[in-house]
Chains A and B, each alone.
Chain A
Amino acid sequence: MAYIPHTEEDVRAMLEAIGAPDIEALFDEIPAGLKIASLPGVPPALSEMEVGRLMFRRAAQDGRPLNFIGAGAYEHHIPAPVWAITTRGEIYSAYTPYQAEASQGTLQAIYEYQTMMASLTGMEVSNASLYDGASGLAEACLMAVRANRRSKASRILVPRTVNPTYRRCAEAIAGTQGLVFEDLPYDPATGCTVMDALQPFEGQDITAVVLQQPNFFGQLEDVDAVADWARAQGALLIAVVNPTSLAVLKPPGEWGERGADIACGEGQPLGVPLSSGGPYFGFLTTRMEHVRQMPGRIVGRTLDLDGRSGFTLTLQAREQHIRRGKATSNICTNQGLLMTAATIYMALLGPQGLERVATACMARSAELVDALSAQDGVSRAFDGPRFHEAVLVLDRPVQPVLAALAAEGIVGGYDLGREYPELGHALLVCATETRTREDIDLYAAALGRTLRRAAA
């Protein structure tokens, strides 16, 4: 019996101590009609060896195509120590650090993570992680509603250049509490939010404005202008940011005159593998004045009975297990393991390493865009500065092109047709520091072949 250590002798001795004739008797409080005799729908047990073969086969079936998609999840080199350490049993199989004395490793790692994340985003304080970037935006919007006492409205302005899945997720999670989300259009030439679009909202009760940098198209927004506009309107500014980019881009804490109020986003680029979509982690940082409105766990440093420095969960009274119906959020389990990986990643990269990763991403993606748009039938959608993604427009539908590339072992990009039909046959492509010159040439050649083949 997998993972169950009991011998027959053990069972006999235990039943005797309990005073029960058999194990079945332990379930005598359960109405007989509810107990099932068998469990159809679950296959017979496999040994570890047999499961291993099955999983190897399934993995081999999927293979490892060459990846050029970003769109919210980014392939980066993950230093070997990150997961070697993160999968140590003391980290992997530890629980939430409720008993602080038994969890100083976890707690100190969180404190270090909070420090790094707050600084990276130019803010003063961070939580210990949320589920992911998309749900993190929902939590940030709910936080803004709580924190913006002046506003009675619960209205959030969301540019169309914000990741559309994040928008949908925020609506699903925060819409049930009456939050209303309104679109802001973008300039078709630059792929960035237009300041003119904000004008109709002037003088109205707006709770918060969201701005993503770099935006979903990879373009760089005029963050100062939007931040200052929000502040002048008495609205909070929620910045959705890419953590790698923050090595070279002005962080949210420095946007405009006084900075953004809340920064959030997807932490996956920091040492977390793509892993078919998760687990990732969301980060959320803010200024001290809003710390009590911040959802999620927070670790603080304090002293023990002997005056020694130690770490503990703090401000727990905001959380579900104490505040219950009036909690800042219902979040309990978060994404601790991924946050640990990110902390080790940031420690290994350091400020210079992260900057080099960021600049390498920018350089590689510029090369990618040049190489692809040099092919006939491919053009750039937008002018203006970018980080590591770009929108290309093809002269024909995107899906068949992507399918042909996939057949050659290349995952070419993300089809924007469903969410942005106004862009035509648009494809979002990405190259990080992991893509070499050879990779890019391979893609460009394959793309060229595909486009010429269809035309012929």
Chain B
Amino acid sequence: MSNVPGDLRYTRSHEWVRTLPDGSVEIGITDHAQGALGDLVFVEVPEAGRQVSGGDAFAVVESVKAASDVYSPLGGEVIAGNDALAAQPELVNQDPYGQGWLVRLRPASAAEVEALLDAAQYSEHLASEG
């Protein structure tokens, strides 16, 4: 059973979104995703300033057995990628919702965040995929 924190939003492609007090969002991959990938060996994050649309592939997480694209849940501008992951990609495995965050983004619209899955809907999605 993977961990699905109740206070976050989610996508069907296993990204999570946390809204920060200043209106920006933090994005990462879920506990389910990191477990499926296995130990990460490399993470590629976008540069600050990059403009993305919802659904754009904007990061790559690579394990020994897979290299997966991470899709931006929202449109907006990248504020920062998590540079700590260059030296310690395992942070994504160890703490996917905390220190393993991938990207901080300034969303183009708050409405897009609301349209994402909530914890219950994501858990249901996981159960149906299983």
The reply to whether A and B meet directly (CB within 8 Å) is yes
Give A residues with C-beta under 8 Å from B. Answer: 292, 316-318, 322-323, 326
In the complex the two chains form, is B69's CB within 8 Å of A317's CB? no
Residues from chain A with a CB closer than 8 A to the CB of B67 are 317-318, 322-323, 326
Chain A residues whose CB sits within 8 angstroms of the CB of B41 once the complex forms: 317
**Closest beta carbon of chain A to B70's beta carbon, Å:** 13
Q: Which 9 A-B pairs have the closest CB atoms?
A: A317-B67, A317-B62, A323-B67, A322-B66, A317-B66, A322-B67, A322-B65, A318-B67, A317-B63
Taking CB atoms, residues of chain A closer than 8 Å to B42 are: 292, 317
Q: Least Cβ distance of B36 to chain A in Å?
A: 13
Pick from A292, A317, A318, A326: contact of B65, CB under 8 Å? A317
- Cα–Cα, bound, A322→B62 (Å): 10
A316 touching B69 by the CB < 8 A rule? Answer: no
Q: How far is the CA of A317 from the CA of B62 in the complex (A)?
A: 7
* Interfacial chain A residues near B65, Cβ < 8 Å: 316-317, 322
Given contact pairs A292-B42, A317-B65, A322-B65, enumerate 15 new A-B contacts (beta carbons under 8 Å). A316-B64, A316-B65, A317-B41, A317-B42, A317-B62, A317-B63, A317-B64, A317-B66, A317-B67, A318-B67, A322-B66, A322-B67, A323-B67, A326-B67, A326-B69
9 CB-based A-B contacts, threshold 8 Å: A316-B65, A317-B41, A317-B62, A317-B64, A317-B65, A317-B67, A322-B66, A322-B67, A323-B67
A316 proximity list for chain B (CB < 8 A): 64-65
A292–B60 CA distance with the chains assembled, in angstroms:
12
- The smallest beta-carbon distance between A368 and chain B, in angstroms, is 51
Question: B residues touching A (Cβ–Cβ < 8 Å)?
Answer: 41-42, 62-67, 69
Q: Which residues of B sit under 8 angstroms from A326, Cβ to Cβ?
A: 67, 69
Docked pose: A154 CA to B67 CA in angstroms: 24
Most chain B beta-carbon contacts within 10 A, residue among A317, A318, A322 = A317
Q: CB-CB < 8 A to A292: which residues of B?
A: 42
Give the Cβ gap from B7 to chain A, nearest Cβ, in Å: 32
Residue of A nearest to B44 (CB): A292
User: How close is B48's CB to chain A, nearest CB, in angstroms?
Assistant: 14
Q: Shortest Cβ distance from B61 into chain A, in angstroms?
A: 10
Q: Which of B62, B66, B69 has most A Cβ within 10 Å?
A: B62
Q: How far is the CB of A76 from chain B (nearest CB, A)?
A: 40
Report the minimum CB–CB distance from B84 to chain A (whole Å).
19
Residues of A close to B63: CB separation below 8 A: 317
- The smallest beta-carbon distance between A107 and chain B, in angstroms, is 16
Nearest Cβ on chain B to A135's Cβ, whole angstroms:
24
Q: Nearest A residue to B47 by beta-carbon distance?
A: A149
A111 to B64, CA, bound (A): 19
| Neighbouring A residues of B62 by C-beta, 8 Å | 317
Question: In the docked arrangement, what's the CA distance between A316 and B65, Å?
Answer: 7
Chain B proximity of A349: nearest CB distance (Å): 36
Q: In the complex, which residue of chain A has the Cβ closest to the Cβ of B37?
A: A317
Task: List chain A residues, Cβ under 8 A from B69.
Answer: 326
How far is the CB of B89 from the nearest CB of chain A, in Å? 12
Expressed in whole angstroms, the minimum distance between the Cβ of B63 and any Cβ of chain A is 7
Tell me the minimal C-beta distance from B122 to chain A in angstroms: 25
Residues of A near B64 (CB, < 8 A) are 316-317
Measured CB to CB, the closest approach of chain A to B64, in angstroms, equals 7
Residue of B nearest to A149 (CB): B47
Q: Tell me, in angstroms, the Cα distance from A316 to B63 when the chains sit together.
A: 9
Q: How far is the CA of A416 from the CA of B82 in the complex (A)?
A: 56
Residues of chain A within 8 A (CB-CB) of B66 are: 317, 322
Q: Which residues of B contact A322 (CB under 8 A)?
A: 65-67
Kindly state the separation between the CA atoms of A322 and B66 in the bound complex, as whole angstroms: 6
Q: How far is the CA of A316 from the CA of B64 in the complex (A)?
A: 7
Assembled-state Cα–Cα distance A323/B107 (Å)? 29
